[in-house]
Chains A and B, each alone.
Chain A
Amino acid sequence: MKDIHLIRLRVNGREHELAVEARRTLADMLRDDLGYTGTHLGCEHGICGACTVLVDGAPARSCLMFGVQADGAEISTVEGLADGDRLSDLQQSFSDRHGLQCGFCTPGFLMLAEGYLAQRDSAGGGAEPTEAEIRELVAANLCRCTGYQGIVEAVLATARSRWQRAAGPGPS
């Protein structure tokens, strides 16, 4: 007997209502039930981070969460990053700095970085982002193609430009 739950959640600002089995992972629910196939599964045990999405703004491995745990949550996936035809600054930065090759891990890195940068920003922006800080962040996920250099550079460039923008044309 399947243990089915009726849940409601928002994905990229759009409301969804669905019946989901208790054991179904958030990743499978997003991909196969709701069609957000940009979230990828690389290991299904929480190491590679390809399935990273934002759950109420915080990065989470969607392979390690059940769909039912997202009841009432606001989920952000890679499909929500671009503004129509226009890539987000982070997406554009990945392309400019060759931060992707096969692109399978890319959605996970994008969401990881978006979550981190948003948290950093809401904590007051702090000091100017450094390479070491961003490299440590990027070390949370796995990529088999790029050697990480383009990813670190892309996230760092975006972090710096957002930090500078937030700081405004101040006395510094």
Chain B
Amino acid sequence: MTELGTRPQAVIGARVPRKEDPRLLRGQGRFGADMSRPGQVWARMVRSPVAHGRLRAVHTTRAAAAPGVVAVVTAADLPGRLEIPVRLDVQGIDLTDYLQPVLAAETVRYVGEPLAVVLADDPYLAEDAAELVDADIDAAPAVLDAADGRVAAEFSLGYGDVAAAFDAAEHVVRTEISIGRQGAVPLEPRTLLADPDPVTGRLAIFGMTKVPVFNRDLLASLLGMDETLIHVHAVDAGGGFGARGEFYPEDFLVPWLARTLQRPVKWVEDRTEHLVAVNHSRQQAHRLAAAFDAAGHLLGLRAEVLHDNGAYCRTHGIIVPELTLAMLPGPYRVPAYHGRVRVALTNKTPCGTYRAPGRFEGSAAREQLLDVAAGQLGMDRIELRRRNLLTPAELPCQRAMSTLGTDVVLDDGDYPGLLEAAAAEAGRLGYPVEVSRGQQSGRRRGLGVAAFLEKSGLGPQETADVVVSGTGAVHVYSGGTSLGQGIETVLAQIAADALGVDPAVVSVVNGDTDKQPFGGGSWASRSTVVAGSAVHAAALAVRDRATEVAARMLEAAPGDLVCEDGAISVRGDPAARVTLAEVARATAPASRTLRPGEPAGLSARRRFEVTHMTYPYGVHIAVVDVDPGTGQVEVLRYLVAYEVGRAINPALVEGQLRGGAAQGIGGALLEEFCYDDAGQPQSATFMDYRMPTAAEVPPIDVLVTQDAPAPGNPLGVRGAGEGGVSAAGAVLASAVRDALGLAGSVGQLPLTAARVHELASGGGR
């Protein structure tokens, strides 16, 4: 590595104020719904009111005659039979038969499925007219239990001789746990504005996030356009968490209508639509069995998973069940493992990823298993984990499995060390004292512990451009996207560090497909790792070029120059210096500093490629009170300990962990998409889909460690986006189980008051 961290005022590792903050605090953010175009029409989706049935007809005559209506379209108006393809392949499994059409044509499969689009001059009129569209549906029985659902895929992952492990076992421990249906639910609903330019034939899009280049290319192929004629603009996004920015039916419909009508089309989803239309996640049933020797060492692990994917396979395909299986052994030494999953379709909203996909679920299952095992083996819960965590000497550890198209190779780390550090931190913060004090005063108070493994930094590549303009301003054009995580600030710090400039002079544009046509997007906690590494490489290349040009200007050898404080100077002779702005101007096309044939400009594009992911790891510890009378669970204390390799901006890492933990508390205790027997959603408002407020989320203690820099990238970073939520279900299940003194598993998440009341009354498994 180069000079990172060697300067006296290191930019990396500093709590630099966020570049995003001023505009957002002033109400000057540019969210999708904030953008309008002259002459725009508003789109309103008409959605199926029935969970399952044959679509006989969609009558649009009355709607089309309503005031202000410009057009009403159904599947019959589409250019052919269009389905949204899978973005992420899993084990080569063909899901063609289960893809979602952009508008239902013959069959409806969930409440909320798009049937028609109404366009009107005004959103109120569009909504009025949408209510006049009459869908004639022969209702059929709804399949709501995955056990009864059509099987879309079934596959196994694993390694080693599992049968032999169970034959040799001294103890076999079994447990079951189901996770309820939950979702990302960002606070900003989806929006899209598509604006066609009749002169150039281009189509400007506002509101696509997460994977804008992928979505641009997919949209281009569905529209039969050259992809460079589509310009996806950068926007602020009100949270992503996996769901926002995937390609949904509306992502075709709105641009297609804009192009067909040659008018700007604007669409803003309402909350009830969001809660039935956007990917759900998490709903899985797990049956686990573990073989232990007499000393409590794991010999083998078996997992059977039933995944409820809702009505269709969307862009994420079956990646969540694959991640579940691939990550289920977690940070432990598991000599033999067999995981099998059945992916079933039901008449509910289709599913995709939600922050820590497969890990929230799998960690809850595995950690409940270990808690139950500790009870059965008569061992302390932490001691059992300590015995089974992989040691630093056992890393890197290759598991003969793949996920997301890459082999599972756990990189460096000290898993037992972090467990000790977390336990010590909880002790220092008084957790154990609080538990015993509560129990002595007669409360049902419990302590939860969970260790987990995360993954981040998925390749295969990310591209970044760094450009210095004549004022000395540094422009970064990254393939990441801003979803609220602060990636503009992080990338500015990385560029500033490499170039020796103040982060204040660095501006970062994310998610603009004209500025960065080769971006991979922000998902899977990848941006700091892969986008950051690409920015790092591009900024170093700019520094090298600036040094070379400055050497000519100063008549010095490049090796004698240093690049710092926005200038390049001769080492030991600070008077001999040129500013970065002067160097940039010296590369202008007419500059005499340029050599014949040398390209103008001070810029570089670099691509960072990576084969394997990096694996951050962590421990959650929590203290809860359970009211056996009401079933209410109160989270009193919560600690997230997480190894991030290197924190570019510790304040942002802590923010990710705290925010993730809050979402995880929601997932563990409150949030669930429920359906009635006919498949009608029962959680289509914020009254019924209960996200935690400040009253349910305690102050979250965080212990961010930087003891194991990731070996696979030049910054040593591991990604921080998902460690706050990953083990939240696991740790709160552990704490509730401890508070109630259960012998078996808690059985289900979320641990709503009704369920906890049942467990407290002896109704547990």
Contact = CB atoms under 8 A, between A and B. Distances in A.
A100 B21 contact: yes
B695 interface: yes
Where chain B touches its partner, the secondary structure class is loop
Interface stretch (A90-98, A115-123, A158-166): A90-98
A41 B33 contact: yes
B685 A144 contact: no
A136 B693 CA distance: 9
Interface string A69-96: 0000000011101100001000100111
Which of A79, A136, A145 neighbours the largest number of chain B CB atoms within 10 Å of its CB?
A145
A102 B187 contact: yes
Interface in B17-37: 17-18, 20-29, 31, 33-34, 36
A34 interface: no
B662 A47 contact: no
A130 interface: no
19 contacts: A37-B33, A40-B187, A40-B188, A42-B189, A45-B686, A78-B27, A100-B25, A101-B484, A101-B485, A101-B659, A102-B186, A103-B236, A142-B693, A144-B185, A144-B239, A144-B241, A144-B663, A147-B658, A150-B655
Interface string B478-517: 0000011110000000000000000000000000000000
Contacts of B736: none
Given A103-B484, A142-B686, A147 B662 contact: yes
A157 B26 CA distance: 19
B20 A103 contact: yes
Nearest to B67: A2
A24 interface: yes
Nearest to B30: A37
B654 interface: yes
B622 to A, nearest CB: 14
Given A43-B685, A47-B685, A107-B27, A148 B187 contact: no
Nearest to A100: B24
A21 B123 CA distance: 13
Interface in B99-126: 123-124
Interface residues of B, number: 56
Contacts of B375: none
B271 A42 contact: yes
A150 B659 CA distance: 10
Interface in A18-47: 21, 23-24, 28, 31-32, 36-45, 47
Contacts of A102: 24, 186-188, 236-239, 483-485
B572 to A, nearest CB: 39
A144 B186 contact: yes
Contacts of A42: 187-189, 238, 271
A58 B662 CA distance: 29
Contacts of A87: 22, 25-26
Contacts of B581: none
A28 to B, nearest CB: 8
B661 interface: yes
A149 B25 contact: no
A54 B724 CA distance: 34
Interface string B696-731: 010110000000000000000000000010000000
Contact of A48 (B20, B662, B686): B686
B82 interface: no
A77 B27 contact: yes
B187 A21 contact: no
B655 A146 contact: yes
B206 to A, nearest CB: 13
B430 to A, nearest CB: 17
A170 B24 CA distance: 37
A59 to B, nearest CB: 16
B694 interface: yes
B652 interface: yes
Interface string B236-256: 111101000000000000000
A142 B691 contact: yes
Closest 6 A-B residue pairs measured CB to CB? Answer: A38-B27, A102-B484, A103-B24, A104-B238, A147-B662, A78-B27
Contact of A147 (B22, B186, B188, B697): B697
A60 interface: no
A45 B189 CA distance: 13
Category for how many chain A residues contact B: 35 or more
A65 B245 CA distance: 31
A36 B27 contact: yes
Given A147-B662, A152-B694, A142 B187 contact: yes
B651 interface: yes
Contacts of B238: 40, 42, 102-105
A39 B29 CA distance: 11
A163 to B, nearest CB: 20
Nearest to B21: A95
A136 B271 CA distance: 25
A85 B483 CA distance: 25
Nearest to B184: A144
B24 A98 contact: no
A50 B483 CA distance: 17
B241 A82 contact: no
Which of A31, A42, A50, A77 neighbours the largest number of chain B CB atoms within 10 Å of its CB?
A42
B270 interface: yes
A102 B239 CA distance: 6
B27 A146 contact: no
A98 B36 contact: no
Contacts of A9: none
A102 B188 CA distance: 9
A142 B484 CA distance: 15
A147 B665 CA distance: 10
Contacts of A82: 25-26
Given A45-B686, A148-B697, A81 B187 contact: no
Given A87-B25, A95-B21, A151-B694, A145 B700 contact: no
Given A139-B695, A148-B662, A50 B22 contact: no
Contacts of A147: 655, 658-662, 697, 700, 724
A44 B123 CA distance: 14
B687 interface: yes
Interface in B653-675: 654-655, 658-663
A132 to B, nearest CB: 10
Nearest to B665: A147
Contacts of A45: 271, 685-687
Contact of B21 (A94, A140, A149): A94
A143 interface: yes
A106 interface: yes
A138 interface: yes
A32 B36 contact: yes
A39 to B, nearest CB: 7
Nearest to A88: B25
B685 A95 contact: no
Given A147-B659, A151-B694, A37 B25 contact: no
A11 interface: no
Contact of B25 (A21, A31, A36, A91): A91
Contacts of B24: 100, 102-103, 106
Contacts of B22: 87, 95
A10 interface: no
A61 B34 CA distance: 19
Given A37-B34, A40-B187, A148-B697, 20 more contacts: A31-B34, A40-B238, A41-B189, A43-B686, A44-B270, A44-B271, A78-B25, A91-B25, A94-B21, A101-B486, A102-B239, A103-B23, A103-B236, A104-B236, A135-B694, A135-B695, A144-B691, A145-B187, A146-B658, A151-B694
B27 A37 contact: yes
A32 B123 CA distance: 11
Nearest to A95: B21
Contacts of B483: 102
Nearest to A143: B187
A110 interface: yes
B124 A103 contact: no
A153 B344 CA distance: 45
